[in-house]
Amino acid sequence: MTLSDWLERLSPGPLPVFAHTRQILSEQRRRAEEISAREVAQTVLADPLATLALIHSANMRGSRLGGEITTAESALMMRGLGRYLDEARNLPVLEESPQGRDGKLMVALHKLLRRVHHAAWQARDFAVLHSDVRAEEVQVAALLHAIPEFLLLLRAPAEALRLARLNRRMPHEEAERQALGGVSLDELRLPLLENWKAAELSRDLLDPNRAEKSRQAILKACLDIAERSQLGWWDEALLGDYLALAGIENHPVENVIATVHANAMRAERAAEWIDSPGAGVWVPMLAGPWPLEPDDEEAIATPAKAVPVAATTPPPTAKPVAQPAPPAEEESQPMCPLPDKQVLREALQSIEGHLDGSLNLNQMSAFILKGLHTGLGLSRILFAMVTPDGRHVKSRFTLGIRPEDPMRHFAFDLEARDLFGQLMGKMQGVWMHANNREKLWPMVNPTLQKMIGDVDFYAMSLHANGKPVGLIYADRGHGECGLDVHSYTDFKMLCLQAARGLGKLKQ
């Protein structure tokens, strides 16, 4: 099909809204005399289909009067708040349509809705942080970005589901051209939104040719973050988005990462009605199976069970050169270790400056361990690596772990179905703490439970050149020194950098 064919097939027409949207609007109608346009706008902005329908309707009227509507609140004021709430009683409901009775299609719609809701939340917050007095315009643009995908699911479901399958096997643009007969979503988006009377300002925010402007750059980074974090936060390309936002907002990158993760969790809690897990679920990673894709027809896997670690004796723990001195034993160290941000930055820069194959494993590990110990204030650190036969993960370097400590013999099967084995499936991490221990601790192999003990910890798998290479475990001992969300953010950032370094070692 040509671009013109798709524009015709996805041309303006009646749009359904999600059932939750109409329910909330009905409740708000009962308070019509006291409710504000802003409150109703927040309901509309949680539903991209309702947002598009409102913007389209307002601009169809506004085009006769001059000027374009760029926000839901302005559209409500133009339509008349009471009139809109009265008319909302007759809005078609997606769940009552033929598409809504298709289980596979609804899974895809909810998954897309969750991603778009997250992107819009991030975009509005970072626009506000940039002192943008019209932050809702950026939020609306984030919602409109996904309109081609929503319309495809509603009006061309076979092609949309085929596109979802292809997206998991090849680059997105190649998948789009295969599924849509030679047309990409980037080519379709702007003319489609123009047909639907989206404001020129909204289209400019989504124009790739204007990506150097601050508002466009914020929007682009937030859209990318929402897409890459859907099933975890360990895509290395996320670091580029964090750095872009850090430059625009003039904030340290670690503050940007903490804000992104907090926004993801707030967005998750704000839309519990969306029947699909979002990025907030994976901060930290929660127990449970990965969600099925819309077209998966395989049975849901049974819950993972811990399996015994291979009864092989791990090699003696090696120590890297230039290793920092181990901290004193806990009995003589009542004060909790304080992170040193300068040392953390130096560790990150040292790894970045040696991606030319000039360091061996011991030298690279020294930078990593110093960043973890002195930079993050972590007292017990273990760096385990995949064995040469590719079957096990065993302790290789340690810091702050006494010779008699069983943790020196930390090991597990690479393909184990316990917590650590599952971490190795992709680059991802976990923070074990009081709020998730009941769910996650039973997933840890009993042998490793005895080694670790009742302590909060961070752990993250490391992948380099497309393959698992190891795992980093770290805690602050068994005393009063707990872990915190900021250190967890920095831990993951350092592990991402460590994986890059391990992929560039001297041969």
Task: Quick: pLDDT tens for 31-53.
Answer: 988 999 999 999 999 999 999 99
Instruction: List the chain domain ranges.
Output: 17-96, 104-284, 330-502
DSSP structure string for 207-239? -GGGTTSHHHHHHHHHHHHHHHTTT-S--TTHH
pLDDT digits 0-9 by tens, 387-417 = 999 999 999 988 888 888 899 999 999 999 9
CATH number of the 104-284 domain:
1.10.3210.10
Which residues on neighbouring strands pair with residue 93, listed in sequence order? 17
> For residue 200, how far is the Cα from the chain centroid?
30
Q: E-strand spans in 443-483?
A: 457-464, 467-475
64 pLDDT higher than 60 = no
**How much is the CA Rg of the chain, to the nearest whole Å?**
25
In this prediction, residue 292 has a pLDDT band, given cuts at 50, 70 and 90, of low
Which residues on neighbouring strands pair with residue 463, listed in sequence order? 468
- How confident is the model at residue 48, as a pLDDT? 97
Is 386 in a helix, a strand, or coil? strand
Q: Could you give the CA distance from residue 502 to residue 438 in angstroms, rounded to a whole number?
A: 34
Architecture of domain 330-502: 2-Layer Sandwich (3.30)
pLDDT digits 0-9 by tens, 137-183 = 999 999 999 999 999 999 999 999 999 999 888 889 999 999 999 99
- How confident is the model at residue 319, as a pLDDT? 35
- How confident is the model at residue 65, as a pLDDT? 53
Which positions ≥6 away from 332 have C-beta within 8 Å? none
Mean pLDDT confidence for 279-294? 61
pLDDT digits 0-9 by tens, 27-36 = 999 998 899 9
Is 475 in a helix, a strand, or coil? strand
- The pTM (predicted TM-score) of the whole model is 0.62
Report percent pLDDT > 70 for the chain: 88
> For residue 242, how far is the Cα from the chain centroid?
12
Mean pLDDT confidence for 181-190? 95
Q: Could you give the CA distance from residue 376 to residue 387 in angstroms, rounded to a whole number?
A: 28
74 CB-side CA count, 13 A: 16
pLDDT digits 0-9 by tens, 477-503 = 866 778 988 899 999 999 999 999 999
pLDDT digits 0-9 by tens, 323-369 = 334 444 434 444 677 788 888 998 999 998 889 888 888 888 888 99
In this prediction, residue 14 has a pLDDT band, given cuts at 50, 70 and 90, of very high
291 pLDDT higher than 80 = no
